C-alpha cells in the first residue's frame, strides 16, 4: 500500500501524533519525512498516494494528522473533503499545496477548525510551525493565505462560460492533454517543451479557472468543449 519503506515507530506518549503524508510526489514525501522524523512528537509516519489509500490509513489511524496536497488527489470538490473530515472527526488536516483557490480555502477553512494550510513555497520555519501546531491540534494558516483572507483579495474568477477566453491557445492545448489523463512529463515530451514550461502552464490554468486539481480541470475542459466525450473515453 505504501511505496516508501519509511514507516517507523517511536515510543508513544499522550502528546505524540501519527502523520499521514497524502502526496504522491517523491521529493515532497522525502522532505516531509525528514522534517517530521526530527520532531519529538512524531510517533508514526505513514503514506497515501491516492484517496483509497488515504481512507485505508484513516481507518487504521483515525486520530492522525493528514498532510494533504489536495491538488494531486481526485477529490470532486471541497464538499467531498469536508465529508471525509466528518467521517474521521478526530483527524487533523494540514493542506500543503503549491496553490489553492480562495473559494476552496474559504469553504474548507470555515467548515472546521481541524483544517490548517501552509504552501509548498513557504519558508522552512513556517512549515515547521505548521507541523508543530497540527501536532498540538492547533490551527495554522500561513502568512500568505492569512493576508489574502483578511484583505478579501485573491478571490477566484467567476466560473467561465463557453465563450470566455480565459486561457491562451497554449494553455488550452495543455489543458486538453491534462484532461486526457497525460502527465506533465508526457505532455512535455510530446510537445517538445520543458517540464518547467508545462508545469507553469498547469499552474496558470488552475489559477485562471479557480480549480484545484485535475478532476475539476477536466470537468471544465469537457464543459468548454476543449475535449469531447468521445476523445475522453477512447
Averaged pLDDT, 34-55? 89
**Mean pLDDT (the chain, rounded):** 83
Query: What share of the chain has pLDDT > 90, as a percent?
Result: 46
Tell me if 48 sits within 8 A of 85, measured CB to CB.
no
What pTM was estimated for this model as a whole?
A: 0.67
Contact 106, 94 (CB under 8 A): no
Q: Which residues lie closer than 8 Å to 42 by C-beta, 6 or more apart?
A: 10, 16, 17, 19, 36, 135
Q: Which residue has the higher pLDDT, 37 or 234?
A: 37
* Residues 59-82: tens digit of each pLDDT: 999 999 999 999 888 888 888 899
Task: List Cα–Cα distances, 89 to 62, 64, 78, 133, 231, in angstroms.
Answer: 8, 10, 16, 17, 40
3 contacts 47 by C-beta, under 8 angstroms:
yes
Burial pattern 17-38, b for ≥16 Cβ within 10 A else e, equals: bbbbbbbbeeebbebbbeebee
Q: Give the count of beta carbons closer than 10 Å to the beta carbon of residue 228.
A: 11
**126 or 12, higher pLDDT:** 126
Say how far residue 163 (Cα) sits from the centre of its chain.
29
Residue 47 has pLDDT above 90, yes or no: yes
Cβ-defined contacts of 164-170 (< 8 Å, 24+): 164/224, 166/208, 166/209, 167/205, 167/208, 167/209, 170/201
Q: How many residues does the chain have?
A: 234
The reported pLDDT for the residue numbered 164 is: 52
What is the C-alpha to C-alpha distance for residues 53 and 112, in angstroms, rounded to an integer? 23
Residue 8 has pLDDT above 60, yes or no: no
Amino acid at each position: 500500500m505504501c511505496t516508501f519503506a519509511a514507516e517507523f515507530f517511536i515510543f508513544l506518549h499522550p502528546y505524540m501524533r501519527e502523520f499521514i503524508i497524502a502526496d504522491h510526489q517523491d521529493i515532497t514525501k522525502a522532505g516531509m519525512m525528514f522534517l517530521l522524523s526530527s520532531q519529538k512528537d512524531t510517533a508514526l509516519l505513514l503514506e497515501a498516494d491516492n484517496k483509497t489509500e488515504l481512507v485505508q490509513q484513516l481507518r487504521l489511524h483515525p486520530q492522525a494528522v493528514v498532510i494533504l496536497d489536495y491538488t494531486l488527489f481526485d477529490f470532486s470538490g471541497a464538499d467531498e473533503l469536508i465529508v471525509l473530515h466528518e467521517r474521521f472527526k478526530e483527524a487533523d488536516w494540514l493542506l500543503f499545496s503549491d496553490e489553492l483557490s480562495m473559494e476552496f480555502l474559504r469553504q474548507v477553512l470555515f467548515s472546521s477548525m481541524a483544517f490548517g494550510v501552509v504552501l509548498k513555497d513557504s519558508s522552512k520555519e513556517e512549515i515547521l510551525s505548521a507541523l508543530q501546531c497540527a501536532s498540538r491540534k492547533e490551527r495554522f494558516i500561513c502568512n500568505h493565505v492569512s493576508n489574502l483572507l483578511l484583505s478579501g483579495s485573491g478571490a477566484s474568477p467567476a466560473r467561465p462560460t463557453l465563450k470566455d477566453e480565459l486561457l491562451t491557445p497554449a494553455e488550452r492545448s495543455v489543458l486538453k492533454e491534462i484532461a486526457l489523463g497525460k502527465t506533465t512529463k508526457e505532455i512535455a515530451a510530446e510537445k517538445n517543451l520543458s517540464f518547467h514550461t508545462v508545469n507553469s502552464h498547469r499552474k496558470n490554468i488552475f489559477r485562471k479557472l479557480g480549480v484545484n486539481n485535475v478532476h475539476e480541470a477536466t470537468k471544465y475542459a469537457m464543459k468548454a468543449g476543449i475535449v469531447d466525450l468521445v476523445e475522453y473515453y477512447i
